[in-house]
Structure 1
Amino acid sequence: MTSTSRKVIAVLGAGPGLGMSMARRFGREGFAVAIVSRTDARHGGYRAELAADGIDSRSYAADVTDAEQVRDVLARIAAEFGEIDTVYYGPASASFGSGIVPLPEADAAAVRAPLDGLLLPAVGVVAAALPPMLRRGDGALFFGGGLSGLRPMPMLGNLAPAAAALRMYVLTLAAAVKEQGVFAATLTIGGLIERGDIHRMFLEQGTPLPTLDPDDIADKAWHMYVARDEAEAVFDVLTSVA
């Protein structure tokens, strides 16, 4: 498949869990994959995994929470690898600022820190990725989100307002661009992603928590991409054990 006929997915904040599952799932449908993460330490392994499945990929090092770096790396991908059809944005972070602060103890600075680390980087991704999609009248944007943006989860404290803000931002964006041919959706995740770095950390600590198979999430994302009639999919293994 040539660069003029194939589609390209940019996986921003790529990791061994959902990021790689998204890369493989879309790659199986003929997409070329651009992997982007803060460092290139694991890129060789990621590309080897994809190559073993017959998937063409390239990798780029950039801080995907930095709007300027996101703009630059997406421009590089489009110039070197092909016009970007789909973006998946799902970097995971165990903490923002001083970490989780219970809401009864959270001041304005504690609530603002997750907004700066979660919501505003997503806005930067949209600012960089959306204009070419609108010019073409085609494209897709996927965002990984947290269940605390949908349901009250007091244990997540000051992370919950940011998760809720990101969820509503994506849903509102989806409604705003739908008639212009662009699809946007949030993958609202309640549980540990298997094979991901946070999952590995909990395993090492011997902490048993409910998990989600990232291949199942990526498969759902693919079907959402094709049907374009759902702006949100919820994956919840936490409510039943709460």
Structure 2
Amino acid sequence: MTTNSPRTALVTGANKGIGRAIASRLGEQGLCVYLGARDESRGRQTERELRADGLDARFVQLDVTDESSVARAAKHIEADAGRLDSLVNNAGIGGPVGPPSRTAVGEVRRTYETNVFGVIAVINAMLPLLRRSAAARIVNVSSLLGSLTHAAAQEDPSGVFPAGAFPAVLDYNTSKAALNALTVTYANELRAEGILVNSVSPGFVATDINGHRGHLTPEQGARLPALLATCCDDGPTASFFGEDGSPAGQPLAW
């Protein structure tokens, strides 16, 4: 790949919801976007639809809970593009909502496999490709619910939940808190190399994970992740932002 080749991005969980919207936004900015998806038929369909919109979208089979699948995806992108400029770890799940004391350990483990261990697997596999970029970016799609500070105070700065009503969801919240810890840990390792790593809460977006009860559209939720995936060299790292409609987003406490 030559230096004037299009920038490249990988978005995990890109066949629907926020992931698809992020991929679309990045494609509209001229990036070649790899659509990471477990299901080939859905991934191919998304590829066709985005290509019909004139975007350079390329499906790559990727199950973040399967390290062999992650390794194959990295080899595919390397052979096809030679490098990776932006990685957006969007794939995420959550179990049924219930009191922490009634949440099965197996449910927590299942959520962590995608939301935490899957992110580690993808970052580690893609880092050799990101290190070939002149301005690599990693964005972890997190959630306000992963903020220990706001959870302890039982206050939601976005105003979705009233004071004292901060949801206590064991598997999802703690997995996003762990994801935020990953963000800081990788950011500290990679900052000397100019690789910026940030977490973003896209807001209360209507998606499958919340039964489409959110008040924001996937397109609105995609704005900040796409912004951080393409930010300038003097952009933030080891930071956590939430969607509040402001140009750079709302800084959130860890």
TM-score (norm 2): 0.76
Structure 1 residue 112, shift from structure 2 partner: 4.3
Query: Could you say if the C-alpha distance between residues 28 and 157 of structure 1 is closer, same or farther in structure 2, counting changes exceeding 3 Å?
Result: same
Contact 2:9 2:32 in 1 (8 A): yes
Residues 43-192 of structure 1 aligned to structure 2 (within 5 Å): 43-95=43-95, 99-100=96-97, 102-105=99-102, 111-134=108-131, 136=133, 138-150=135-147, 151-152=150-151, 153-191=166-204
1:179-215 CA-to-partner distances (Å, cap 9, x unmatched) read: 2111111122442x33x4346xx35xxxxx3322322
In structure 1, how many angstroms separate the alpha carbons of the residues matched to 2:82 and 2:13?
A: 19
Structure 1 residue 80, shift from structure 2 partner: 2.1
**3-state DSSP of counterpart to 2:25:** helix
Q: Give 1 or 2: higher strand fraction.
A: 1
From 200, 205, 225, the equivalent of 1:221 is 225
**2:29 matched residue in structure 1:** 29
Query: Could you say if the C-alpha distance between residues 212 and 174 of structure 1 is closer, same or farther in structure 2, counting changes exceeding 3 Å?
Result: farther
In structure 2, how many angstroms separate the alpha carbons of the residues matched to 1:128 and 1:13?
A: 16
In structure 1, how many angstroms separate the alpha carbons of the residues matched to 2:44 and 2:128?
A: 31
Pairs aligned (count): 225
Query: Could you say if the C-alpha distance between residues 73 and 14 of structure 1 is closer, same or farther in structure 2, counting changes exceeding 3 Å?
Result: same
**2:163 matched residue in structure 1:** none
Contact 2:142 2:176 in 1 (8 A): yes
In structure 2, how many angstroms separate the alpha carbons of the residues matched to 1:61 and 1:184?
A: 24
Structure 1 residue 105, shift from structure 2 partner: 4.0
In structure 1, how many angstroms separate the alpha carbons of the residues matched to 2:132 and 2:2?
A: 22
Contact 1:14 1:20 in 2 (8 A): yes
From 196, 221, 232, the equivalent of 2:240 is 232
Amino acid at match of 1:169: L
Query: Could you say if the C-alpha distance between residues 17 and 112 of structure 1 is closer, same or farther in structure 2, counting changes exceeding 3 Å?
Result: closer
1:42-65 CA-to-partner distances (Å, cap 9, x unmatched) read: 234312332233211221223122
**3-state DSSP of counterpart to 2:72:** helix
Contact 2:141 2:202 in 1 (8 A): yes
1:82-109 CA-to-partner distances (Å, cap 9, x unmatched) read: 42211112113242xxx44522345766
Is 1:197 aligned to 2:208, yes or no? yes
- Identity, in percent, stands at 24
In structure 1, how many angstroms separate the alpha carbons of the residues matched to 2:110 and 2:93?
A: 12
Query: Could you say if the C-alpha distance between residues 33 and 137 of structure 1 is closer, same or farther in structure 2, counting changes exceeding 3 Å?
Result: closer
**3-state DSSP of counterpart to 1:212:** coil
Structure 2: unaligned runs, 5 residues or longer: 152-165, 246-254
Structure 1 residue 223, shift from structure 2 partner: 3.0
CA RMSD of aligned residues (A): 2.8
Structure 1: unaligned runs, 5 residues or longer: 204-208, 238-242
In structure 2, how many angstroms separate the alpha carbons of the residues matched to 1:104 and 1:44?
A: 41
Contact 1:4 1:82 in 2 (8 A): no
**3-state DSSP of counterpart to 1:63:** coil
Structure 1 residue 67, shift from structure 2 partner: 2.2
In structure 1, how many angstroms separate the alpha carbons of the residues matched to 2:14 and 2:133?
A: 26
Structure 1 residue 5, shift from structure 2 partner: 1.0
**2:10 matched residue in structure 1:** 10
Q: Give 1 or 2: higher helix fraction.
A: 1
